[in-house]
Amino acid sequence: MTLKTDFLVLGSGVAGLSFALEAARHGEVLVVTKRGVSDTATSWAQGGVAAVLSPDDSLDRHVQDTLVAGAGLCHDVVVELCVKEGPAAMRWLIEQGARFDQAEGGELDLGREGGHTERRVAHAGDATGREIQRSLHQQASEHPNIRFLEWHMGVDLITLTDFGGPDRCVGAYVFDERAGEIHTVLARATVLATGGAGKVYLYTSNPDVATGDGVAMAYRAGAEIANMEFYQFHPTCLFHPAAKSFLVSETLRGEGAVLRLPTGEPFMAAHHEMADLAPRDVVARAIDYEMKRGGYEFVLLDITHKPRDFVMERFPTIYERCKGFGIDITAAPFPVVPAAHYMCGGVTSNLWGRSSLPGLFAIGETACTGLHGANRLASNSLLEGLVFGRRAAEKLASEIAQLRTAPHPSVPEWQTGSAVPSDEAVVVSQNWEELRRLMWNYVGIVRTSARLRRAARRVTLLEEEIREYYWKHLVTRDLLELRNIQTVAELIIGSAASRRESRGLHYTLDHLTSDDAWIADTVIKRGVPAHLRDRR
């Protein structure tokens, strides 16, 4: 089956739906999402949206906080643009029906998180992402120009070469999981908004859908990928055998929670002048260091000095979730560990979300815009999705009339060839487990050159096994996701091995200092090894 549309959006989080709502004013939008519309990382976001919304704050201070967190690799023009457009993006989001907590007098109740020097984080309790997802989904589901394909997953981008020119993306093959079929979707513009790749690591705060699909598809199609060595590990996920991927927002530390060793001593002041409000990379490394030094399985997060009613009202989701595991966070410190959280690298994109591959846009966590540099400032991610989702739609709105002058191209339907149903799915599950454990042990919070070399050798062997299995068998979601996380793992390892310094989220014991010679992006393209490029 072949479907045709003006705009194909892969992903249904804040970036994808922001784009869809704006683009739908100018053409037909098809949103493909591999599970339900609300099965996104956006839905899991607890903290909030960072924007200058108070007269006590300033654009310059938000810019400076972002640049400091980014450790010299932020693109100044992108930071300034995103911060400047942040207040308008927030007003637009509120117009879509998103409800944020208010202080007395009706003003937004702004929180503060690690790395921020001012209170500028708009939130909806500790379930901000869920509220944003709800409001955008409701608006999109009522729009006559937006259609959803749930339980469909991108397989590969479709590219064509015209008259000897560069390849151009004209759509994607998508897998209908329920029917077991692969459909062809042709589009005048294809937008990747597939989120991150936390499932490439053994421990992650991300939902199961975060398998790096957009980055892997873009890389296979020939688009540039940048800064994959900078993977952010959230310092605090609940440590409990039944608490799968449950993130404990750093807004707790923003409201005064203290990290302690299992013996009770606070330890962050010894690692950074901002103590428990230090940037996430510093906090994650400090916890990792203290756990390894003391042989601890976890550290403790303590907010018991705050009034019980305040904690229950400000953090209802965290309180209730922990209570379900027999933990009362108002009565005693509770155990936490770091986990893979946010991909700061991704598909390179310009100020309008356009990738290096004509016809292909990338927005949200899938993209590398230059906003985050070597480390994301807390709550800048939802902001980035809002700003660049709307900017990409604005750019395409000015181009859609010209794009419509040419008919959709003719492309071949997906051919299964001699592929047969899998009779040995254990190969997928075994490689999945091995790959994620390998990445956690060798390419995690703290790295060495030797660990990276070991990881590279093993990932190369896994790639051969996965490729052989992929071409012999009919695709399944598990197989597609395994293929994608292997590609993402390869990109992370290659990027990390090429950067011989420690900067932001990339920390290696063999090169402990930062060097100005490395103030450049790490860029990889299919067939071209990782190399540095100054894009400031």
**Which residues have a catalytic role annotated?**
280
300 Cβ partners below 8 Å, 6+ apart?
Answer: 259, 260, 261, 262, 264, 333, 334, 335, 336
The residue ranges of DSSP E strands in 73-141, in sequence order, are 121-122
3-state helix, strand, coil in the chain (%, to 5): 40, 20, 40
Question: How many of the other CB atoms lie within 10 Å of CB of 129?
Answer: 25
44 Cβ partners below 8 Å, 6+ apart?
Answer: 129, 130, 205, 206, 207, 247
User: Nearest 5°: phi and psi at 142?
Assistant: -95, -5
Quote the CA–CA distance of 479 and 412 in Å, as a whole number. Answer: 23
Amino acid identity at 128: T
Nearest by Cα to 488 from 184, 214, 249, 279 = 214
Quote the CA–CA distance of 52 and 40 in Å, as a whole number. Answer: 26
- C-alpha 402: how far from chain center: 32
CA angle 339, 345, 351 (to 5 degrees): 135
